[in-house]
Structure 1
């Protein structure tokens, strides 16, 4: 798949076939996602694959802050990738001071780049994804027993698509681009 084709054809998938993506494929996707750029090459993204149905259902029922669309989506996913990030690195200098006026905000910026890179690498392999950002971070952190120095960037539903969502209307270049 060509880069532009991947960018233009990748969609948020919310309906999946109920078969797991082989671990070998997941490992290839994560290996590709490792090439996502990050602040001073800090590479803060980490990945936790959740395949246990009971755990996924618990996340869907108790950790999406009553957002019914995400509950329904996660309950349909054969697996969920929780993208976490190591804190205190991206946007920071070695002495702990900030290098940017964005301060710790650069951590989420790097997590976002990693998430999109992960989703494009998955799409290349026929794996659909949907990035969700509406969740109870404390509950997910406890449920997955995440290390103290990691935060949840997003929860990505994934699996082989059981739908082909149409492309939503996009803004025109004239609406998006300003020259000065």
Structure 2
């Protein structure tokens, strides 16, 4: 697949086949996420891979909104993405480097998440980025340390649908050249 084809193939998948994903494919997606740029190379994103049926039930029941748990049903794994707080966007003096503060941690996590999803699409896998989740429950269930901020939960699996690309803005509507 060309890069442009990969960009166009990536969709939010809300129905999955009940099929496993090879560990090598999961690792390839995580490795792609690790390659994402980050503030001062801080590399703060972390990844919690939920494969155990028992932990998956807990995450579905307590960590996700019911509609998200339903949309991710049959996805082979869930990946809870976090970032280490007070590093990305912070100076060596321990103070925020600008008005963004920990927003740069979110930004870096978004870059990592996109790389993860693009790699999945390139491998023929589907993803769903879920932002409506219970951070406290996820931290409790997965033992996520207090110095990490839980971001999206990403479903990963074999798509059981082929959604059409939604309409996108025209370049003239999205960009202003001066």
Match of 1:111? 109
- Within 1, Cα distance between the matches of 2:32 and 2:73? 27
Q: How many residues are aligned here?
A: 178
Corresponding residue for residue 100 of structure 1: 98
TM-score (structure 1 length as normaliser): 0.92
Worse overlay, 142-151 or 129-138: 142-151
Residues 128 and 161 of structure 1 are in contact (CA less than 8 Å); yes or no, is this contact kept in structure 2?
yes
Q: 1:154 aligns with which of 143, 152, 155?
A: 152
Map of 2:45 onto structure 1: 45
Which whole-Å CA distance do the structure 1 matches of 2:154 and 2:122 have between them? 16
**2:3 equivalent in structure 1:** 3
Q: Which residue in 1 is equivalent to 2:73?
A: 75
2:25 counterpart residue number: 25
Equivalent of 1:87 in 45, 65, 85: 85
5+ residue gaps, structure 2, are none
TM-score by length of 2: 0.93
- Following superposition, the deviation at residue 56 of structure 1 comes to 2.1
Name 2:55's counterpart in structure 1.
55
Between 1:113-122 and 1:168-177, the stretch displaced more is: 168-177
What is the rounded CA distance, in whole Å, between the counterparts of 2:74 and 2:98 in structure 1? 40
How far did 1:148 drift?
2.4
Extract unaligned runs of 5+ from structure 1. Answer: none
Q: 1:153 to 1:25 in 2, by over 3 A?
A: same
RMSD: 1.4
Aligned partner of residue 119 in structure 2, secondary structure: helix
Partner Cα separation in structure 1 for residue 168 and residue 59 of structure 2: 32
